């Protein structure tokens, strides 16, 4: 951490800050510029609360130097982490293609979708049994029945299940069915849930909050990892901006940034990140070209009947086209799918 003093900070104020820093067990590195004194804090551990120092008289601001994440950082762990998803290793040369409906709605719907996405080339099945919905009056998911239907679809197709847990109570239940437990964007900073899922013995797919920074996403991964669960897949699913033509803005920059900052695999959800099915294929190809390790895509056999997210769901034949087109791009960046 660096502490920048105000232009006219007095010698007493500077001395007080220095003494405060040293009192905390850190070494001080003082730098007297022409207009400002700058105090470097050496030997600092990450969880310094910078606010304490900002509250000292004469301090203009503090600047963090170290990245606040450790377990998730590539600095500490240069090699890629490969997260198992059934046979596939997410983060390796073969892309993870996770596909399925937003919500599990009925037996026929999920079985039909599972068969279709398997046929088209998917490597895992997604589908929500517990659904976080903005409105309390909207369909909230089938609950455990939905999980059982997912299991039936898995047994039929061999596709492992990726599905969401929304609360600590649900984690144990979901872990009985899911190969990977999904934490949704709205729960990215639900720390109680992150702690619970960190102990659940299952890989986690952690979606970036729609207005969370890349650093906050990594800090939330850090919560899961600090519980001993290092198998975290990060998911860019679009952030909220002023642009209204699409539901969210796909932060495509986040793909190379995350690949640089962390050893964890990164997938992209072009369905939520655009919100309109017409744009999903283009953004899926962009994600793979940018270096994503996989995709998570909403597919519904009859989007006009979907109880949620119909407007952004692909029909199975469109999904098959997505896989064909993505495969060509994947090969152009030395990946397969």
**Using CB under 8 A, which residues numbered 52 to 91 contact a second copy?**
52-56, 63, 65-66, 68, 75
Dist. CA 70–CA 66, nearest whole Å: 10
Q: Which of 115, 133, 143, 199 binds a second copy (CB under 8 A)?
A: 133
Q: Which of 50, 77, 89, 318 binds a second copy (CB under 8 A)?
A: 50
| 12 vs 54 by CB, closer to a second copy | 54
Sheet holding 59-63, edge to edge: 27-32, 37-42, 2-5, 59-63
Q: Distances in Å between the alpha carbon of 46 and those of 41, 64, 214, 229?
A: 12, 9, 17, 21
Binding pattern to a second copy, positions 88-127, x when CB under 8 A?
Answer: ----------------------------------------
Of residues 234-293, those binding a second copy (CB under 8 A): 239-246, 249-257, 259-260, 273-274, 276-279, 282-283, 285-291
Only segment of 155-163, 173-181, 199-207, 326-334 that touches a second copy (CB under 8 A): 326-334
Q: Which of 12, 15, 33, 324 binds a second copy (CB under 8 A)?
A: 33
| 20 vs 154 by CB, closer to a second copy | 20
Q: Which of 177, 262, 273, 257 is nearest to 224 (CA)?
A: 262
Of residues 183-202, those binding a second copy (CB under 8 A): 186-187, 189-193
Q: Which of 332, 337, 260, 246 is nearest to 295 (CA)?
A: 337
| 84 vs 275 by CB, closer to a second copy | 275
Q: 254-261 and 277-290 helices cross at what angle (nearest 10)?
A: 40
Query: Cβ–Cβ contacts within 10 Å for residue 242, how many?
Result: 5
| 112 vs 325 by CB, closer to a second copy | 325
Q: CB of 148: closest distance to a second copy in angstroms?
A: 21
**Counting Cβ atoms within 10 Å, is residue 74 exposed (0-12), middle (13-18) or buried (19+)?**
middle
Cβ atoms of residues 287 and 295 within 8 Å: yes
Of residues 216-235, those binding a second copy (CB under 8 A): 216, 219, 222-223, 226
């Amino acid at each position: 951490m660096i502490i920048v003093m105000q232009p006219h900070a007095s010698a007493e104020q500077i001395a007080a800050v220095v003494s405060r820093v040293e009192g905390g067990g850190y070494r001080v590195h003082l730098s007297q510029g022409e207009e400002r004194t700058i105090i470097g804090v050496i030997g600092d551990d990450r969880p310094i609360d910078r606010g304490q120092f900002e509250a000292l008289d004469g301090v203009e601001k503090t600047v963090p130097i170290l990245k606040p994440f450790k377990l998730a950082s590539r600095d500490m762990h240069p090699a890629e982490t490969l997260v198992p998803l059934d046979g596939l290793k997410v983060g390796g040369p073969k892309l993870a293609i996770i596909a399925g409906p937003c919500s599990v709605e009925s037996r026929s719907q999920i079985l039909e979708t599972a068969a279709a996405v398997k046929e088209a080339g998917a490597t895992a099945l997604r589908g929500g049994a517990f659904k976080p919905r903005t409105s309390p009056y909207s369909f909230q998911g089938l609950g455990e029945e939905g999980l059982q239907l997912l299991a039936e679809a898995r047994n039929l197709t061999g596709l492992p299940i990726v599905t969401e847990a929304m609360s600590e109570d649900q984690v144990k239940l979901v872990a009985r069915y899911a190969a990977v437990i999904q934490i949704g964007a709205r729960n990215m900073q639900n720390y109680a849930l992150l702690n619970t899922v960190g102990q659940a013995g299952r890989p986690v797919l952690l979606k970036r909050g729609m207005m969370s920074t890349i650093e906050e996403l990594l800090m939330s991964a850090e919560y899961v990892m600090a519980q001993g669960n290092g198998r975290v897949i990060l998911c860019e699913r679009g952030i909220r901006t002023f642009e209204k033509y699409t539901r969210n803005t796909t932060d495509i920059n986040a793909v190379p940034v995350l690949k640089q900052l962390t050893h964890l695999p990164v997938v992209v959800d072009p369905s939520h990140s655009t919100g309109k099915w017409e744009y999903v294929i283009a953004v899926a190809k962009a994600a793979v070209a940018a270096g994503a390790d996989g995709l998570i895509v909403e597919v519904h056999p009859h989007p006009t009947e979907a109880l949620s997210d119909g407007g952004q769901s692909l029909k199975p034949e469109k999904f098959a086209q997505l896989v064909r087109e993505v495969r060509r791009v994947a090969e152009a960046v030395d990946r397969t799918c």
